[in-house]
């Protein structure tokens, strides 16, 4: 498995279930970046329950309308 290679220091993941399990089984720290669906639950499990990852990305749910994300 690629994540078992000694040169891997951490794993940036979208928090899909298979990616999450691979990271846990390999024992590498994970940078969690969920996008949708159950990925947010997987992020919570790794960061708050197992303590083997850190979160990046949004902390607040916001609805995006048909006009898209407003520019600043």
pLDDT score at 35: 86
- pLDDT score of 17 more than 70: yes
Phi/psi for 71 (5° steps) reads -90, 150
pLDDT score at 69: 65
Contacts of 26 (CB under 8 A, 6+ apart): 1, 3, 4, 8, 11
Tens-place pLDDT, residues 45-62: 999 999 999 999 777 766
Closest C-alpha to 53, from 37, 39, 72, 65 = 39
Stated pTM of the model: 0.75
Phi/psi for 22 (5° steps) reads -60, -45
């Amino acid at each position: 498995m690629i994540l078992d290679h000694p040169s891997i220091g951490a794993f940036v993941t979208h928090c899909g279930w298979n990616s999450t399990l691979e990271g846990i089984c390999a024992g590498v720290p994970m940078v969690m970046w969920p996008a949708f669906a159950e990925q947010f639950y997987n992020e919570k499990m790794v960061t708050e329950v197992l303590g083997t990852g850190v979160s990046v990305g949004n902390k607040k749910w916001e609805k995006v309308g048909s006009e898209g994300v407003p520019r600043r």
